[in-house]
Amino acid sequence: MSFVIAIDGPAASGKGTLARRLAQHYGLAFLDTGSLYRAVGVSVIAAGGDPADERAALAAARALDMSRIDERAIRTREAGEAASLVAVMAPVRAAILQFQRDFAARPPGGQRGAVLDGRDIGTVVCPDADVKIFVTASPEVRAHRRWLELKNSGADVSEAQVLEDTRERDRRDAERATSPMRPAPDAHLLDTTDLSIEAAFGEAVRIIDKSTS
Ligand code: DC
């Protein structure tokens, strides 16, 4: 049986960094499921389509080669916007659900388990995950973190604009009909508003070790 850790939470809550470090710490495979939605959005745009067009998004999701995702292209602000549009579409979510479940059940490289991060890992993708953590932080702190990331990558965008994007994305992620973002009833909540990356990591390790001992 694969050992699965589900890390969910809103954009820029720190869940990606946390999930990656936990995977390293426990020797598990890691899947950033947001990158799948981003890759679908980017692929629609690259083909000259509109990410809000469900037929185009579904075709892109079905054709997606998960092993050939362009890491740079999917990290832009536009890619994040496109991802949040395609992520509301039930057929798109269904098209990439099995890939995520297979990754968790049979992690690549014969590893003994996996850490998946996203919005619906604990509720839909892996409802039987061994440990579930829902990572949060205030919208202002999350927008500030994302703005710093974008600025460092050379993007010309104001912090106010990033805060507006963050609120809009939260709304879309939480209000969509299919797999809305919400903590699973058995998830541990981890608020990183006032925590450094190090402190958040320490807290997550404490939660995991306690729930598996
Ligand atoms: O975590 P992120 O910013 O890379 O996610 C991009 C978008 O994909 C975001 O709007 C939410 C969506 N997403 C989702 O709906 N379900 C997931 N498991 C992961 C991401």
Q: Give the domains, in start order, of the chain with CATH numbers.
A: 3-212 (3.40.50.300)
Whether the predicted model's global pTM rises above the 0.85 cut: yes
pLDDT above 90: residue 67: no
Q: What burial class does residue 190 get, using C-beta atoms within 10 Å of its C-beta: 0-12 exposed, 13-18 middle, 19+ buried?
A: buried
Which residue's structure tokens are 């297979």? 102
Among protein residues, the one whose CA lies closest to atom 20 of ligand 1: 34
pLDDT at 41: 97
The atom of ligand 1 lying closest to the CA of 121 is 18
pLDDT above 90: residue 136: yes
Distance 33 CA to ligand 1 centre (A): 7
Mean pLDDT of 94-121: 95
| Cα distance between residue 20 and residue 32, in whole Å | 8
pLDDT at 193: 95
Distance 100 CA to ligand 1 centre (A): 13
Q: Which helix (H) or strand (E) holds 1?
A: none
The DSSP 8-state label assigned to residue 189 in this structure reads E
Tokens standing for 86?
């395609």
**Alpha helices (H) along the chain:** 15-26, 34-46, 54-63, 77-86, 90-105, 139-152, 159-175, 197-212
Tell me if 15 sits within 8 A of 117, measured CB to CB: yes
Contact residues of ligand 1, CB 6 A cut-off: 11, 33-34, 37-38, 80, 83-84, 87, 118-120, 169, 173
| Cα distance between residue 80 and residue 34, in whole Å | 9
Distance 81 CA to ligand 1 centre (A): 10
Q: Report CA-CA distances (Å) from 179 to 4, 61, 174.
A: 19, 17, 9
Mean pLDDT of 195-213: 95
Q: What pLDDT, in 10s, does the model give residues 19-50?
A: 999 999 999 999 999 999 999 999 999 999 99
Confidence of residue 69 (pLDDT cuts 50, 70, 90): confident
pLDDT above 90: residue 16: yes
pLDDT at 20: 97
